[in-house]
Amino acid sequence: MKHLIADVLPGSPADKAGVRAGDFLVSVDGREAADVLDYRYLIQEADGLLVQRAGGGAVTVVTGGEDPGLAFETGLMDKAKPCRNDCVFCFIAQNPPGLRDTLYFKDDDWRLSFLTGNYISTTNMKTDDFKRLAFYHLSPINISVHAVTPRVRRMMTRNPKAGRLMNRLRFMKRRGITMNFQIVLCKGINDGPELIKTIKALARLKPQAASLSVVPVGLTAYRDNLYHLEPFTSKDADAVIDTVEGLHGGFVWAADEFYVLAGRKIPDYGYYIGFPQLENGVGMMALFEKEYIDRLNELDNPRSSDDTLIITGMAAFGFIKGLVGMIPGAEVLPVKNVFFGETVTVAGLLAGRDIILAAKRAKENKERLKRLLIPRSALRAGEDVFLDGMSLEAVAAETGLDVRAVEVDGAALVNALLCTESK
């Protein structure tokens, strides 16, 4: 198995040996590396690497205990393993047409769970995968549970292997693997008594069971021919919060979306104990509020310009408006999500074209607007492009505004509002 080398660190053993981008790694001390896990393990005590030249021939890299200095075509050094489930709630299956191919790819790769924090179902893992997981003792692993009753989980994932979950989790517990869990909650399927049963079963896996988030199913306008799911009502959200808070135990949290939907106050900063489920939208508002107020308290008489428009999703509008109101001047605009459908209310899924339409209307009513602040979470990771392919530059050109993407951080928003930098 050969791996394409994409870059070589200047001054590294590989660079000194004449290895260049386009060459191929063949082996480490005579052993093949299936992926980055094998590679990183093997080079720890490796004497030499065999590299095949792009133009023919080979070279041996003597490492002398140093990192060889190689970067590969993909961080995984292998193709990501696709998801073979057909979950009734899958968000990717609800994507609108016309997006780039990568946005339709569903991964369920346990290696990416460790490397990048992805959540996996474990249904696609084979015996060798569990052996490698245990051998490398990879922690933490993030697991999508949804339900512990085999019949319910099989139905939700539409995978006959899904009912083996608890045996797999107990295997990881015995091997000392730390696990974080998530439940995508679907009304009438895994809520109510099933939710209680699932939370209690996972809590029994402590201390290896580190945290659990309960998040509402995301429903877009593109659900034709998909399993029928009902959105949660305010009353439903209230019941979910009561259940989760009753079993909290420093282990399980409800997503902020449930609190917004129920019209209930977000718990205080201290409730979230280290924010282990932040990427699942758990505690983001509490953390953001603390960052925002802490930064404000560092400043004397802060005041923003009235030429600034802040974009947010429908869900966070009241929350953001309340914070921005502490600094006179700027205006907050909630944007309806036409691209995915109005049932999608989070700022991170706003499309460029929806922002343009909303900003243009706002500018018609307030001609002095010059600046537009948008959440960076609405952009693809590492790019200045929205999910619909619209770029920041295009939004600026279409609106005639100075557009700036702001990190999802309370202090960053204060700094952007006041055109200042943190002390």
Q: Where are the domains of the chain?
A: 3-72, 92-282, 289-418
Helix, strand, coil distribution of the chain in percent, nearest 5:
35, 20, 45
Asked if 304 and 184 touch (Cβ cutoff 8 Å), the reply is no
Going from the C-alpha of 257 to that of each of 90, 210, 233, 306, the distances in angstroms are 18, 22, 12, 30
Architecture of domain 289-418: 3-Layer(aba) Sandwich (3.40)
Residue 316 has φ and ψ, to the nearest 5°, of -95, 5
pLDDT at 259: 98
pLDDT band at 306 (very low <50, low <70, confident <90, very high): confident
pLDDT band at 417 (very low <50, low <70, confident <90, very high): very high
d(CA 33, CA 377): 35
pLDDT higher at 282 or 97: 282
* Mean of pLDDT values over 391-416: 95
Distance between first and last Cα of the chain: 51
pLDDT in tens, 40-63: 999 998 999 999 999 889 999 998
Going from the C-alpha of 268 to that of each of 229, 296, 319, 336, the distances in angstroms are 32, 18, 14, 28
| Superfamily of domain 3-72, CATH level 4 | PDZ domain (2.30.42.10)
pLDDT higher at 329 or 121: 121
pLDDT in tens, 253-304: 999 999 999 999 999 999 999 999 999 999 999 999 999 999 999 998 887 8
Provide the token pair at 292: 């925002």
pLDDT in tens, 362-378: 988 888 899 999 999 99
pLDDT in tens, 310-325: 999 999 999 999 999 9
**pLDDT higher than 80, residue 107:** yes
pLDDT in tens, 209-246: 999 999 999 999 999 999 999 999 999 999 999 999 99
Decide if 3-72 and 289-418 have a common fold. no
pTM: 0.92
Asked if 296 and 314 touch (Cβ cutoff 8 Å), the reply is no
d(CA 416, CA 27): 50
Question: Span 92-282: which CATH code?
Answer: 3.80.30.10
Look over the chain and give the mean of its residue pLDDT values, rounded to a whole number: 94
pLDDT in tens, 159-178: 999 999 999 999 999 999 99
